[in-house]
Structure 1
Amino acid sequence: MIEFGTGGWRAIIADGFTKQNVRLLAQGLANRILAENVAQRGVVIGYDRRFLSGDAARWAAAVLVANQIPVTLVDRPAPTPMIMWTTRNKDCAYGLAVTASHNPAIYNGIKVFTEGGRDADVEVTRSLQDGINGLTPDDVRAVADYELEDSPLLTIQRSMNWYIDSILAQLNTEVIRHSHLKVVLDPMFGVSQTCLQTILMTARCDVDVINSRHDPLFGGRLPSPNVDNLHGLRREVLERHADLGIATDGDADRLGIIDDKGNYLSANQILVLLYRYLLAGKGWQGPVVRNIATTSLLDRVAARYGQECHEVPVGFKYISAKMAETDAVIGGESSGGLTVRGHIAGKDGVYAASLLVEMIASSKRRLSELWDDIVAEYGSLEMIETAYSFTPHRRVELTDRLFERKELPAFPEKIDHVSYQDGCKVYFENGGWVVIRFSGTEPLLRVFSEMPTLDAARENVELVASCFGLDGSGASA
């Protein structure tokens, strides 16, 4: 069975991610497109550097072409945000990116985008999923490889220039040019290098690149730009006396940052810095959107400037929808994805990193100093995230205890209220919180806590683990 989560469909290669399932997904999409009578608008397909990604893109293209649907195939590894941008720019009905984003190397998957280059919402993915799982291999129509190559319905695109130029057009490259910034880029063996290096060097930054070769195993680590995976980038930043280090995940829609002192800046910190910069530095006006597991420091910044912070469930489609509804300035999540008004309605690590460079150049100060300013003005909050694996039997038990019987540990803080909109979120009177929810991309139970101190956040997570008998955690601050 093909199941869509918060980040599209992901499955283990040769188990769920197979040629047959990719073709079934493509046929299900083709059926939907034909039923909607939008075949003439076509589909954009792109892929990352994972094992079988390029092949899977062609498997999907062969099915769509057989169903008389035009396909633009970005026939080189490309950032997922570029596929979203191209879907919007070409006014295509749908887009597909073959990627499993930051999942382990044994995974691959497909993200589906709808009109305007948006993440497909839950109604679309649920309907698409039902249609796909009602098909058999005999229902799939596909042209042969040689027919695909010669088909007038297939357009090959290899250039990234339109996407790169769209980002450059939104940057103050003049201020960056005269700042002489030194940047170390870590694409984590993924797809950000060409775009991000081109943008930064066009703005006259001095750019060094690490971990750039094609390695489907991602150097034996997760292609996720979190603190545990960026020790090499930290070392390079300090040794080269760089102004910052930029890391992007496997498909370049998320980022992590190392500042000039070698400190890791989380996605939460990046969001806060960029939101304040857009309001105070660029004079923008508007609210901010975050998911339930993202820092409440954004609420403090919003309040300081007379704006509102909107909270939505996990899944970037909820962020982009609320941004469109409220004309928000910025939206993002603690896992590393963000977008800004006027750009694509989805995560873009390339654009976010470029804007952060502009922020540093414009301020004429060190990145570490800019964060110190945030702490001095708004205080600090500390977050802990843990992830626990489980058996199918345990999932049934945990679902019953958490969401049917609504059990909770005896937290030391006074509880203000509890929400079950997306998993379970406990709001404390002191402004802290705990989130417990099943991952939408991996078979994991995730537990987050944000509190005034790291010890308090860690204590809350440990109480949840003890209460529900969880083990095998991978905690990160």
Structure 2
Amino acid sequence: MSRQFFGTDGIRGLVGKAPMTPEFALKLGWAAGRVLAREPGAHVLIGKDTRRSGYMFESSLEAGLSAAGVRVSLLGPLPTPAVAFLTREVGAQAGVVISASHNPHHDNGVKFFSAEGDKLSDAIEHEIEDMIERDLECVAPEQLGMVRRLNDAPQRYIDYCVSTYSGAPLAGLSIVVDCANGAAYQVGPEVLRRLGADVHTIGDAPDGFNINRECGSTHLAGLRTEVLARQATLGIAFDGDADRCLMVDERGETVDGDQILYIIARHRLAQNALQGPVVGTLMSNLGLEQAIRKLGLGFERAKVGDRYVLELMRSSGASLGGETSGHTLCLDRSRTGDGIVTALQVLAAVKEADLPLSAMVAGLQKCPQVLINVPVTGKAAPVLALADVQQAVRQSESRLGNDGRVLLRASGTEPLIRVMVEATRAAAAQAEAEAIADCVRAACA
């Protein structure tokens, strides 16, 4: 089969690729179970976010895994990193998350974690894909996998998150938390309250359809309004599956993933607790690289996608890396991106410095950066390869010279081509980005 369901985030469906159906989810669960059930007593965890379709796909995956003879534990709505943690914690062979992250409710898909809480290896992915091509054969009735609910899963994860915090108690901090009507709507605020913060929540009433709708890390206006109205210390925004975190300072200004990386890097450096270079991506702002190097630290860029960031971090011995979108990896605390854990690392730095969040990013002067998302029908790669598009990029690069850079790439989760232009002058960045985006649109017409 064409390996269309595995990408940098794992297996996906309904995210700009072939749609996932209950029938496919059933077959996928069975195929994964057949590959994983080579170990006696194989055990798989299933978690999900708050999308209504998650109930349907949970049942299908559960049935497929059981048909392959795999024991299943259902976790209910929990952040993606919680499933990765609990997979390790209970000694399961794999964890499955039903989520489409920051996408709208009508998208959904699945992501697999290995027994170590990492993404599946390419070899295992290929085995599962090959198994999907075979006819489904159910095990004998006495070999069917048992299914149960792991009722203490939220508390285990809350305890774990609290354990990653090494700063002073959060008493005295007024924090607004936007849960995106998603997977962190219960555990996120509870972690902060356990540590002593005064917490007010928004985006904490999921109905199955309002996940990421005008809320969360992709829509910060509501959080900004609430922080200013309450004169809060800061605001925290998660995405639908809570593996990302962005923030808003006391003035209502956005603190993005680049700024979060800078805050944590400077704090870790002061604690003599930073290993290797800081790892960003091709989308990381040039100002971040300059600020990190001023700290005397190395900075390396990975391709966009948390898998590539993680690969470069491991090969370079780095303990800190992440993306502008707020997907941050603190490998000294967690094996995967975790929005709650990320927020706690920033809060530890804020408490120790006893400064407002706005002051914590003062050492990072960002270059103007313009990002335009151009919708495409079909695959993006052929459009990126067109001569007219390539010529438009070369012309922009020539006009910018050493004062900027251009990046075109296909989104890993949506049918989009992302046009990014960075320049020392905002007007130049805007003009060049619009010129390239117009060329891409014309090519797609």
Find the counterpart in structure 2 of residue 139 from structure 1.
Answer: 136
CA distance in 2, matches of 1:25, 1:122: 16
> 1:322: Cα distance to partner?
2.3
CA distance in 2, matches of 1:471, 1:233: 38
Tell me how many residue pairs correspond in the alignment: 439
> 1:413: Cα distance to partner?
5.0
Distance 1:428 1:4, change over 3 A: farther
> 1:244: Cα distance to partner?
0.6
Aligned with residue 23 of structure 1, among 9, 19, 26: 26
Tell me which amino acid in the other structure corresponds to 1:381. C
> 1:248: Cα distance to partner?
0.5
Q: Residues 407-466 of structure 1: CA distance to partner in whole angstroms, max 9, x if unpaired?
A: 343545559xxxxxxxxxxx9534x32211111211111112233333232222112123
Aligned with residue 207 of structure 2, among 204, 215, 218: 215
CA distance in 2, matches of 1:219, 1:362: 34
* Equivalent runs, 1:311-330 vs 2, <5 Å: 311-330=301-320
Aligned with residue 408 of structure 2, among 406, 416, 436: 436
Is there any run of 5+ residues in structure 2 with no aligned partner, and where?
Answer: none
Find the counterpart in structure 2 of residue 95 from structure 1.
Answer: 95
Identity of aligned residues (%): 27
Q: TM-score by structure 1 length? A: 0.83
Q: Residues 378-420 of structure 1: CA distance to partner in whole angstroms, max 9, x if unpaired?
A: x32222222111233x8475143169x94343545559xxxxx
Pairing 1:284–2:274 present: yes
CA distance in 2, matches of 1:433, 1:298: 14
Q: Residues 71-111 of structure 1: CA distance to partner in whole angstroms, max 9, x if unpaired?
A: 2221x210111001111223332211001111122111001
Aligned with residue 232 of structure 1, among 204, 215, 222: 222
Distance 1:280 1:176, change over 3 A: same
Tell me which amino acid in the other structure corresponds to 1:184. V
* C-alpha contact (below 8 Å) 1:43/1:70 kept by paired residues: yes
Farther off after superposition, 156-165 or 202-211: 156-165
Farther off after superposition, 296-305 or 230-239: 296-305
Find the counterpart in structure 1 of residue 81 from structure 2.
Answer: 81
> 1:22: Cα distance to partner?
0.5
SS of structure 1 residue aligned to 2:226: helix
* C-alpha contact (below 8 Å) 2:262/2:292 kept by paired residues: no
* Equivalent runs, 1:52-451 vs 2, <5 Å: 52-74=53-75, 76-122=76-122, 124-132=124-132, 134-135=133-134, 138-139=135-136, 141=138, 153-159=146-152, 160-173=154-167, 175-178=168-171, 180-218=172-210, 221=213, 225-226=217-218, 229-281=219-271, 283-372=273-362, 374-375=363-364, 379-392=365-378, 395=380, 397-401=382-386, 406-411=390-395, 414=398, 429-430=402-403, 432-451=404-423
Tell me which amino acid in the other structure corresponds to 1:5. G
CA distance in 2, matches of 1:322, 1:124: 21
Find the counterpart in structure 2 of residue 475 from structure 1.
Answer: none
Tell me which amino acid in the other structure corresponds to 2:138. R
Distance 1:368 1:192, change over 3 A: same
Is there any run of 5+ residues in structure 1 with no aligned partner, and where?
Answer: 416-426, 473-477
Distance 1:128 1:200, change over 3 A: same
CA distance in 2, matches of 1:120, 1:286: 25
Distance 1:268 1:388, change over 3 A: same
SS of structure 1 residue aligned to 2:251: coil
Distance 1:152 1:384, change over 3 A: same
Find the counterpart in structure 2 of residue 453 from structure 1.
Answer: 425
Distance 1:177 1:350, change over 3 A: closer
CA distance in 2, matches of 1:97, 1:329: 25
Farther off after superposition, 300-309 or 96-105: 300-309
Tell me which amino acid in the other structure corresponds to 1:162. R
Tell me which amino acid in the other structure corresponds to 1:139. L
* C-alpha contact (below 8 Å) 2:246/2:325 kept by paired residues: no
Tell me which amino acid in the other structure corresponds to 1:434. V
* C-alpha contact (below 8 Å) 1:176/1:204 kept by paired residues: yes
Q: Residues 145-182 of structure 1: CA distance to partner in whole angstroms, max 9, x if unpaired?
A: xx99xx77334212222222222222125x1345x000
Q: TM-score by structure 2 length? A: 0.89
Farther off after superposition, 159-168 or 302-311: 302-311
